[in-house]
Amino acid sequence: MRKEFGRQERCLQDHFRIHANVKPLQKYRKLVVKKTVVDRDVQAAPGVCVNEMNTIRAEYAEFSGLHEEGGWPKDINMNDPEMIQRHRKKLEKEDAFTIAVPLMADEMEELIKNNNTINFYRSAFSCDSIIAPDRELVPTATVVNVYKNPANRPRRVSRITFAPENIGRMAVAQCPYEFDPSLRQHAGEAFFWEIENPTRPEGMIRAGSPITDVRYHPKDLHTIVGSLFTGQVATWDARVSPNPQLVSTYETSHTDVCTTALWINSKTGCEFFSSGLDGQVIWWDERNLSQTLDTLWCDPEKGQGRPEFAHGATVLEYEHTLPTKFLAGTDRGNVMVFMKKGKSPSERMIHMYKAHKGPVMACHRNPMFIKNFLTVGEYHIRIFAEDCKESSIMWTVPAETRYADANWLINRPSCFIACRNDGVLEWWDLLIRGGNNIMQMKVCDEALTAVCAADTGKHIAVGSIHGDVRFIQMSDLMSDFDKGEKPMLAAVFDRESRREKYLEQRNREIRLKKRDLEKQEAIQKKLEEDEAAERKALGLPDIEGMDPIQVKGMKIRQEVARNPIIQAEREFFISIDEEIRTKGIDAFPDKKVAKKKKSEDGDEHQEGGAVNITAADLAALDFHEDEQGADEGKPEAPPAAPEATPSQTAAAPLPPQSTTPSESQLAPPEPPEEEEEEEGEESPADEEAQNEVDEADDEEEE
Amino acid sequence: MSNNEVEEAIKRIMSHKGVVGLIVINHEGIPIKSTLENSLSVQYAAQVTQMVDKTRSMIKELDNNNDLTFIRLRTKKHEVLVCPEKEYSMIVIQNPIDT
């Protein structure tokens, strides 16, 4: 209702009146920061933007005109030569004619004479050849044609190939890779297009299941081989019918999707081979597809061809200038190089390069330098040199989206194109800029799935996920290749491969060193373990948890225990000990000396028992280690010394008989020392010797 | 006879070096006089008439006071000279000299 709209505004002119005044707060003054560097630009001009638009596709049809004769008056029958002649004659007789012709003739004569005198159109200027224009600095490309998907359902383009010998024909294979049962039921078609005519395809081939790859025979335009989604391969003759001439049988074909089929340059010209996701590479003769010529499993281990371990092969690459080898990219991201005719029973894998973390989407050799090839995986493009086996020589930074396909350009081998899942086509040129692409072009909104360089050298065909193929024309920057650039490109590849080789070598050295170190450590560790085991066997306590001095002591003990000589000595001591205990003084060979000793000092220690060798006895005994001790000792000692030496040394650990054997083991350190104190005659050397023996004793006991 | 003049003129043109053929057409496009065979003459007549019309209209549109005098069409193989008049047109095909 009108009254709901509100009152009509009435504007009055009034003097100025301040309705609100907000003064700045002093407390914020200190917080004010003057910005001296401003990064925002201000422009007072109106903003404009550029937008290009084009119709998606303009339909062209070519017609040529048939010129019929016309102009004859109605009463004259055109086909009657008599009448025509008569009419002509009549026309000639007209006045206007007779006047006009000489006039025209005069003018004409002038021109003719002109032409005869001078050649107007010769090049009058000294430059004989047209100066090559400066190479453009900015590459450009435009979409020239769009070949729309003729089928009603959108199916991604899986392969685009061009007919050989630059005829201007293109084959497009469309096959959805998604696992969708409803899609499988439709028959597959592949279309042939004439490049000049984007309106409708020139031809079509059909098969029972979607066609993943379609290839022209290199010599014969009409023989076509294709690989099917079911793993079979089929051949067609394009002139005869769209249905396949021959389809391989299920038993002999791949057990999974057949991804690529390539013709081989063979003597018969009829051979081709195919790869599949089951991991097989099969050779066929096109005349008989019920038999395979040869098969090979892509087993990652060298020298083996085991089906269970084979990686599925997603792409094949074969270059007829290098007929003995071919490359296969797998779905695990490896690229395997195979020798086609292996000397060993199974065709040998020469090497496997680790390329990507995802399946290898494309693998192509450089048309000029066949030793280098590029592979495309998830987010990277890598360039390999065959000799550098450890890694690729060049690779790109990760892109924003996945790459679907890449290929070298034919006329310019330093340049390659890659298509991405966001509809962007990238151009890379190794000579202009190695780190980044030289140009990106958003071809369409949907993902791009296949790309191929046309034989013209100036064009690229790129296929999208909806089944459309766009034909792109490039500027000269990307299609010219001077003679001087070939050595530059060779230098680029050479430099990078040398760098990789150097790194490889360093890596190897480091690994070797590390291995040696590890070996050393292993040996060391083994030694320690052995020692620990020994210790356990001997009954010595574990080293863990002891302080270094104790550890040292323990180690000495262990060493002593291990040493056979010391062991022998110890056993000897033990046996002597036994003898003395059992036989008494008779154990000693020199009874006279012992008796004498006994009689001299025996009274002091009689309480002990039957046998009590006193400290004096001990002192009298000459330890063979110390001559001094012998001299200082009793004079009787020297003659007896040599013979009695073992017994003397053996006598030392003798315990006083009173104590039990176990206690006695502990006792010996004390009494000899006490005796030593008592009898100062004992030399320090004896003490030493005794201490040594005590130590041996300790070790024996503990 | 005035016809003689016509014949003479034509003969004179044909005698020049490099001249391959000559056609005189009227405003309806009928080749009246021609030294080439009929089908070719008819083709030339048809094409040239259209071109003369188009060219003349273009020149008139750009400048009304201007008019077409003649057309020289240099092709790879030869040169086509067209001299349009009020009622008739003369077409001469000449091979230029190669220096």
Inspect the interface and report whether the beta carbons of B26 and A93 lie closer than 8 Å: no
Secondary structure (DSSP) of A275-288? EETTSEEEEEETTE
Q: How far apart are CA A607 and CA A87, in angstroms?
A: 178
Inspect the interface and report whether the beta carbons of A112 and B16 lie closer than 8 Å: yes
- Best mutation target among A112, A118, A121, A123 (most B Cβ atoms within 10 Å) is A112
Of A340-349, A519-528, A573-582, B31-40, least confident by mean pLDDT is A340-349
- Say if CB A246 and CB A234 are below 8 A apart: yes
- Say if CB A191 and CB A500 are below 8 A apart: no
- Say if CB A623 and CB A649 are below 8 A apart: yes
- The confidence score (pLDDT) of residue A515 equals 92
Question: Whose CA is closest to A453, among A492, A488, A481, A432?
Answer: A481
Whether A176 shows a pLDDT value over 80: the answer reads: no
Q: Using H for helix, E for strand and C for coil, what is the string for A408-421?
A: ECCCCCCEEEEEEC
Share of chain A above pLDDT 70, in %: 75
Inspect the interface and report whether the beta carbons of B18 and A112 lie closer than 8 Å: yes
Q: Is B37 on the interface with A (CB under 8 A)?
A: no
Q: Is B83 on the interface with A (CB under 8 A)?
A: yes
Inspect the interface and report whether the beta carbons of B33 and A92 lie closer than 8 Å: yes
Q: How far apart are CA A468 and CA A571, in angstroms?
A: 98
Please give the residue that has the higher pLDDT: either A681 or A164: A164
Q: Is B64 on the interface with A (CB under 8 A)?
A: no
Q: Is B73 on the interface with A (CB under 8 A)?
A: no
Closest by Cβ to B17, choosing from A69, A101, A116: A116
Max CA-CA distance within chain A?
A: 186
DSSP reduced 3-state for B73: strand
- A333 alpha carbon, distance to own chain's centre: 8
Tens-digit pLDDT profile for residues A534-556: 877 776 666 666 677 777 777 77
Average pLDDT, rounded, for chain A: 75
Helix A548-562 to helix A485-538 angle (10° resolution) is 80
Could you say which DSSP state residue A197 is in?
B
Q: How far apart are CA A133 and CA A179, in angstroms?
A: 52
Q: Using H for helix, E for strand and C for coil, what is the string for A39-76?
A: CCCCCCCCCCCCCCCCCCCCCCCCCCCCCCCCCCCCCC
The CA distance from B99 to the nearest CA of chain A, in Å, is 7
- The confidence score (pLDDT) of residue B91 equals 92
Question: Whose CA is closest to A392, among A404, A380, A408?
Answer: A380
pLDDT tier, B82 (very low <50, low <70, confident <90, very high otherwise): very high
The CA distance from B38 to the nearest CA of chain A, in Å, is 10
- Average pLDDT of A474-491? 83
Secondary structure (DSSP) of A420-463? ETTSEEEEEETTTBSSS-SEEEE--SS-EEEEEE-TTSSEEEEE
Share of chain A above pLDDT 90, in %: 2
- Say if CB A374 and CB A354 are below 8 A apart: no
Measured between beta carbons, the chain A residues lying within 8 angstroms of B81 are 108, 111-112
Max CA-CA distance within chain B?
A: 42
Give the residue from chain B lying closest to A91, CA to CA: B32
* Cα distances (angstroms) measured from residue A383 to each of A338, A365, A391, A649: 18, 9, 9, 83
Inspect the interface and report whether the beta carbons of A112 and B19 lie closer than 8 Å: yes
Inspect the interface and report whether the beta carbons of B86 and A100 lie closer than 8 Å: yes
Give the CB-side neighbour count of residue A212, counting CA atoms within 13 A.
24
Question: Whose CA is closest to A394, among A375, A409, A410, A367?
Answer: A375
Give the residue from chain B lying closest to A107, CA to CA: B83
Dihedral over Cα of A358, A361, A367, A370: its sign: positive
Q: How far apart are CA A133 and CA A504, in angstroms?
A: 44
Bridge partner list, A272: A263, A284
The CA distance from A124 to the nearest CA of chain B, in Å, is 12
- Average pLDDT of A490-507? 88
Q: How far apart are CA B75 and CA B80, in angstroms?
A: 8
Bridge partner list, B33: B24
- The confidence score (pLDDT) of residue A246 equals 85
Measured between beta carbons, the chain A residues lying within 8 angstroms of B5 are 98, 101-102
Inspect the interface and report whether the beta carbons of B81 and A100 lie closer than 8 Å: no
Q: How far apart are CA A324 and CA A343, in angstroms?
A: 12
Burial of A578 (0-12, 13-18, 19+ CB in 10 A): exposed
The CA distance from B67 to the nearest CA of chain A, in Å, is 16
- Average pLDDT of A288-295? 83
- Say if CB B27 and CB B88 are below 8 A apart: yes
Tens-digit pLDDT profile for residues A387-432: 888 788 888 888 888 888 888 888 888 888 998 888 899 988 888 8
- Say if CB A324 and CB A334 are below 8 A apart: no
Which sequence spans correspond to the domains of chain A? 141-479
Closest by Cβ to B9, choosing from A69, A102, A122: A102
- One-letter amino acid at B19 equals V
- The confidence score (pLDDT) of residue A568 equals 81
- The confidence score (pLDDT) of residue A134 equals 60
The CA distance from B50 to the nearest CA of chain A, in Å, is 12
Please give the residue that has the higher pLDDT: either A481 or A489: A489
Secondary structure (DSSP) of A570-605? HHHHHHHHHHHHHHGGGGSS-HHHHHHHHHHHGGGG
Q: Which residue has the tokens 């090559």?
A: A132
ipTM reported for the complex, 2 dp: 0.80
Inspect the interface and report whether the beta carbons of A67 and B3 lie closer than 8 Å: no
Is domain A141-479 given the CATH code 3.40.50.2300 in the classification? no
pLDDT tier, A688 (very low <50, low <70, confident <90, very high otherwise): very low
Please give the residue that has the higher pLDDT: either A292 or A680: A292
Please give the residue that has the higher pLDDT: either A160 or A628: A160
Q: Is B77 on the interface with A (CB under 8 A)?
A: no
For residue A592, give both structure tokens. Answer: 């006279």
- Say if CB A234 and CB A189 are below 8 A apart: no
- Say if CB A443 and CB A425 are below 8 A apart: yes
For residue A664, give both structure tokens. Answer: 């006695």
Of A186-200, A315-329, A331-345, A440-454, least confident by mean pLDDT is A331-345
Q: Is B17 on the interface with A (CB under 8 A)?
A: yes
Closest by Cβ to B6, choosing from A87, A98, A116: A98
Q: Is B53 on the interface with A (CB under 8 A)?
A: no
Measured between beta carbons, the chain B residues lying within 8 angstroms of A116 are 16-18, 96-97
Q: Is B33 on the interface with A (CB under 8 A)?
A: yes
Rg of chain A in Å (alpha carbons): 52
Whether A675 shows a pLDDT value over 80: the answer reads: no
The CA distance from A61 to the nearest CA of chain B, in Å, is 21
Q: Is B74 on the interface with A (CB under 8 A)?
A: yes
Give the residue from chain B lying closest to A90, CA to CA: B32
Measured between beta carbons, the chain A residues lying within 8 angstroms of B90 are 101, 104-105, 108
- What number of other Cβ atoms are within 10 A of residue A504's Cβ? 15
- Average pLDDT of A114-129? 72
Give the residue from chain A lying closest to B32, CA to CA: A88
Q: Is B60 on the interface with A (CB under 8 A)?
A: no
A92: which residues sit within 8 A by CB, 6+ positions away?
A98, B3, B6, B32, B33
- The confidence score (pLDDT) of residue A57 equals 65
Phi and psi of A86, rounded to 5°? -65, -40
In 3-state terms chain A splits into helix, strand, coil percentages (rounded to 5) of 35, 25, 45
Inspect the interface and report whether the beta carbons of B94 and A102 lie closer than 8 Å: no
Inspect the interface and report whether the beta carbons of B5 and A98 lie closer than 8 Å: yes
Of A38-52, A434-448, A684-698, least confident by mean pLDDT is A684-698
Give the residue from chain A lying closest to B76, CA to CA: A121
Q: How far apart are CA B60 and CA A398, in angstroms?
A: 63
Whether A642 shows a pLDDT value over 50: the answer reads: no
Q: Is B61 on the interface with A (CB under 8 A)?
A: no
For residue A63, give both structure tokens. Answer: 């017609």
For residue A286, give both structure tokens. Answer: 């096109």
Whether A224 shows a pLDDT value over 90: the answer reads: no
Closest by Cβ to A112, choosing from B30, B94, B98: B94
Give the residue from chain A lying closest to B27, CA to CA: A71
Interface of A with B (CB under 8 A): 67, 69-72, 87-88, 91-93, 95-98, 100-109, 111-113, 115-116, 119-122
Burial of A215 (0-12, 13-18, 19+ CB in 10 A): buried
- Average pLDDT of A600-620? 49
Please give the residue that has the higher pLDDT: either A631 or A88: A88
Inspect the interface and report whether the beta carbons of B92 and A100 lie closer than 8 Å: no
Tens-digit pLDDT profile for residues A243-279: 888 888 888 888 888 888 888 877 777 888 888 888 8
- The confidence score (pLDDT) of residue A584 equals 63
For residue A560, give both structure tokens. Answer: 């002593």
Q: What pTM was estimated for this model as a whole?
A: 0.56
Runs of H (alpha helix) within A6-155 = 81-92, 95-117
